[in-house]
Amino acid sequence: MVSVAAAALALMGCSGGTSLENEQTPDQAKDAVVTVVDDTAGAVGGTWSVASGPAVQGCMRDNGARGAAYFLTEMREQPAGDPADDVATVERLWKDKGLTTERYESGGTDPTLGVRGTGGPTTSIDFLADERGYSLDAVSVCTAGNAEELQRNGE
């Protein structure tokens, strides 16, 4: 499951900004991505743990300038709930938050279900639901800020 989450995070990356990029400081972007991940985990329930982040990374803003964004990965490993129902719950929550969503599933006879979201407080967010465990990966909007400097300052 961790490799699926890592692959999803690699696919998301941080390229390009959003209309919110000029309105948020790096701290606001960090808080926003943590909130949407926490809200999502709360809607699905269970015990979630942070696998990575929130950590700052470099990104390119719409105006071509370098910026800073935050990524966060959380995992829930205990089996509980129904993956299809939980994907539907997450999709509704994200749509209510103004995100554009797209459902998908992996190949094979026992596919992992998922939903991707863009917009709102994120550049991208991904929820994977499998009977073996769930994962949430999110990247904040790209804000004005120097990612390397933020990292040197403990972010």
Cα distances from 1 to residues 5, 50, 66, 70, 79, in angstroms, run 6, 14, 32, 22, 12
Query: What per-residue confidence (pLDDT) applies to 19?
Result: 45
Query: What per-residue confidence (pLDDT) applies to 126?
Result: 97
Sign of CA dihedral 21, 135, 1, 4: negative
Q: Which helix (H) or strand (E) holds 140?
A: strand 133-140
Q: Does the pLDDT at position 142 exceed 70?
A: yes
Query: What per-residue confidence (pLDDT) applies to 6?
Result: 39
Write out pLDDT tens, residues 1-34.
443 443 343 334 444 444 444 478 999 999 999 9
What is the spatial distance between Cα 36 and Cα 56, in angstroms, rounded to a whole number? 16
